[in-house]
Amino acid sequence: MYRLLMLFLLIASSELVAEERFANVQMKALHIAGSVHMLDGAGGNIGVSVGVDGTLIVDDQYAPLADRIVAALGELGGDRPRLVLNTHYHGDHTGSNPDFGRTGTIISHENVRVRLLDREGFERSGLPVVTYSDRVNVHFNDEEIEVIHLPSGYTDGDSIVWFKTANVIHLGDHYFNGMFPYVDIDAGGNVDGFIRNLESVVAMVPGDTMIIPGHGPLSDIDRLSENITVLKSSTAMIREMLADGHEIADISTALDGKYPGWGWRFINAERWAKTIEKNDAL
């Protein structure tokens, strides 16, 4: 009984902490083209299509933000989503799945479902009910939407969502605009695959496509190409310095000098250098 009480208090207090953490988060909406918008709150950027068929979203941030997401969709003329696409399994992109999955259909790559099933306590309503191994087309709001799985890059279950009519593509966490990226090597990610995938996107889409990154501001192709250049040159620099026997601390200092502002709270220069070290040790 005591244990149960403690467990209850623990859950109640962690929910309280979560509520407080998100208390001041506001959803900012940005119209991009056609029926497509971007919502920026906390966690991964949300892609939105609002129109005659209803509302479709790409990723859904954290559970405590679900009501604010619905309110923001309402201001765009939308409603609770009929369709939710997940670019990958991380909690800052799938947190509102359990809420939206009660009334909408969640679609993802098959490995997203596998990893969410693995997450302890994850509510059944948050699981994708339609999965694919390679790609799927969605026809909604007069948009031709191609959802394409990319080979191991950020994780082993990544998808990008290409709104071909509006000429907008959501890259999920294959794109941290202006920041050193997190690459989830423990979940099947690979730094070289990550960079190759981004190059394949640049080769695939028209030059005037607008790009929703997983994190950071809206982008165009030129800005994405700049990011790819930094990824490639910083990775090469880290590898050279590691081969020459430099310590991680020296490498971090050199990275901060050459790429000011690219290190951030979560992935600072040290963490980026360690990512490459870990990637190459496998």
Site residues (vs Zn ion, CB under 5 A): 44, 92, 173, 214
We find the least distance from the C-beta atom of residue 263 to Zn ion, in angstroms, to be 17
Nearer to Zn ion, 92 or 123 (CB): 92
We find the least distance from the C-beta atom of residue 155 to Zn ion, in angstroms, to be 10
We find the least distance from the C-beta atom of residue 196 to Zn ion, in angstroms, to be 20
Q: What is the torsional sign of CA 253, 258, 261, 263?
A: negative
Residue 109: CB atoms within 10 A of its CB come to 29
We find the least distance from the C-beta atom of residue 3 to Zn ion, in angstroms, to be 35
We find the least distance from the C-beta atom of residue 15 to Zn ion, in angstroms, to be 21
Name the region of 64 (left: φ>0; alpha: ψ -120 to 50; beta: rest): alpha
**DSSP states along 100-149:** HTTTSEEEEEHHHHHHHHHSTT--GGGS-SEEESSEEEEEETTEEEEEEE
Nearer to Zn ion, 86 or 279 (CB): 86
We find the least distance from the C-beta atom of residue 93 to Zn ion, in angstroms, to be 5
Name the region of 92 (left: φ>0; alpha: ψ -120 to 50; beta: rest): alpha
Nearer to Zn ion, 43 or 263 (CB): 43
Distance CA 261, CA 17 (A): 30
* Closest residue to Zn ion: CB criterion: 44
Nearer to Zn ion, 43 or 193 (CB): 43
Nearer to Zn ion, 140 or 182 (CB): 182
We find the least distance from the C-beta atom of residue 86 to Zn ion, in angstroms, to be 11
Distance CA 223, CA 214 (A): 14
Q: Is 57 helix (H, G, I), strand (E, B) or coil?
A: strand
For residue 252 the two structure tokens come to 């971090």
Nearer to Zn ion, 92 or 277 (CB): 92
**Cα dihedral: 7, 8, 11, 16 (round 10):** -140
Residue 4: CB atoms within 10 A of its CB come to 8
Cα separation values, 121 from 5, 33, 118, 251, Å: 18, 38, 9, 40
We find the least distance from the C-beta atom of residue 59 to Zn ion, in angstroms, to be 8
No. of helices (H) and no. of strands (E), the chain: 9, 13
